[in-house]
Structure 1
C-alpha cells in the first residue's frame, strides 16, 4: 500500500475505521448508552462514505450556467440521502434513549449483563 493510495482513499479508509470502532463499541460494551453511541458512530461512518462517493474533484453545485459553458456537476443525490439519514439517525437515537429510560425504570440498571441476570432470576422464581 503506497502513500499515494492512502491519500487518495483517506475518506474510505476513515469511514471503514469509524465503522469498525462503532461495531466494536456495540459488541463489547454492556452499557446500553455506550451501545447507542456505537450505533451513532457507525451511522456517521456510513454518512461519510456516501458523501465521499458523491464527491467529484473540481465539481460544482448542480446549478445551470446561463452562459452555456460546460461544467462538471456534483451529484446532489448523496447529499439529499444523507440529510434524510441524519433525521432517521436522530430519531433512532431518541427512541433508543427513551427505551433505555424505560429499561432503567424497570430494572434499576442500564448494564446489559445485570439486566440478563435479573431476568434469569425472575424466570427461575
Structure 2
C-alpha cells in the first residue's frame, strides 16, 4: 500500500511540475492543484498508516495501550484541503477576470500597456 502511494505521489509531483512549466494560466493552476494533492498524500503517508482504534481513553484506564490511529496528519490534511479549495476558487475567479481583460490565456501575453510602448 505504501509503495503504491509513493508512486502516486511521484506521479502527482511530476505532472504538477510539468503543468506549472507550461505557458497557460489554466495549466499553471492545475499544476498547483496537483502539487497540493501530492503534498496531502505525502503528509498522509508520513503519518504512519495504521489500522487501529480511535485515540479515545476509556474511563477506567489511565493510559492508552492499544494501537491507535494518529489524528494529527488527518487534521493537517483536512485543513490543507480547505485552504487549497479557497485558493483554487479565488484563482479561478482571478483567471477569468484576467482572461476577460486581456483575451488570452498565454502568460507571455500579459504585458502591461506601458511595456508594449517601449
Give the alignment's TM-score, normalised by structure 1. Answer: 0.78
Which of structure 1's runs of 4+ aligned residues deviate more than 6 A? none
- Size of the alignment, in residue pairs? 115
More helix by share: 1
- Which residue number in structure 1 is paired with residue 34 of structure 2? 41
Output aligned runs, 1:1-125, within 5 Å.
8-27=2-21, 29-65=22-58, 70-115=65-110, 119=111, 122-125=114-117
1:65 deviates by 4.1
Unaligned runs of at least 5 residues, structure 2: none
- Is the CA contact (8 Å cut-off) linking 1:19 and 1:45 kept in structure 2? yes
1:47 deviates by 0.7
**Coordinate RMSD, CA, aligned:** 2.3
1:73 deviates by 1.1
Work out the CA distance in 2 between the residues paired with 1:58 and 1:8.
Answer: 13
Distance 1:120-1:98 versus aligned 2 partners, 3 A rule: closer
1:67 deviates by 7.1
59-68 or 96-105: which moved more?
59-68
